[in-house]
Amino acid sequence: MERIGEDWGISKLRVETASFLRKNQDEFIHFMEEEYTSGDGFEKYCADLESTAAWGGQIEVRALSQVLSRPIKVIQADGPPLVFGEEFKKPGLTLTFHRHKFQLGAHYNSAIPKEET
């Protein structure tokens, strides 16, 4: 975020993303595992997102794109890149998705576009 001139720490990103999910529950709940779709499951999901080191997935990347009003491109080894927030005109962010890297399980890393020489 610093590279694009934004002053967002990880805690703020988590809180804002969880808040966006809460406000737009009907849009996201259909893509969640069943344990999060009833009772207090959705709220627990959002609370974990904002206050733990729980890793996010496509749901969170999509929500984060909306929070930042920026496109986010996800590059993956299998399949074409996914782009969330294509409607936004601000410079985008790029993430790489690693399904199984260093025994960490699936996770995302930020990427820096290669500068033209």
Domain limits for position 15: 2-111
Q: What is the pTM of this model?
A: 0.83
Q: What is the pLDDT of residue 102?
A: 59
Asked, for residue 82, whether it belongs to a domain, the answer is yes
Contact at 8 Å (CB) between 94 and 75?
Answer: yes
Q: What is the mean pLDDT of residues 88-111?
A: 78
Q: Which two tokens stand for residue 76?
A: 């993956």
Asked, for residue 22, whether it belongs to a domain, the answer is yes
Asked, for residue 102, whether it belongs to a domain, the answer is yes
Q: What is the pLDDT of residues 44-88, one digit of tens each?
A: 999 999 999 888 889 999 999 999 999 999 998 888 999 999 999
Choose from 8-12, 62-66, 94-98 the range with maximum mean pLDDT: 62-66
Q: What is the pLDDT of residues 20-45, one digit of tens each?
A: 999 999 999 889 888 888 889 999 99
The Cβ of residue 51 has, within 10 Å, a number of other Cβ atoms equal to 12
Q: Which two tokens stand for residue 70?
A: 């920026």
Which residues on neighbouring strands pair with residue 94, listed in sequence order? 73, 111
Q: How far is CA 112 from CA 19, 41, 80, 92, 109, in A?
A: 28, 36, 18, 11, 10
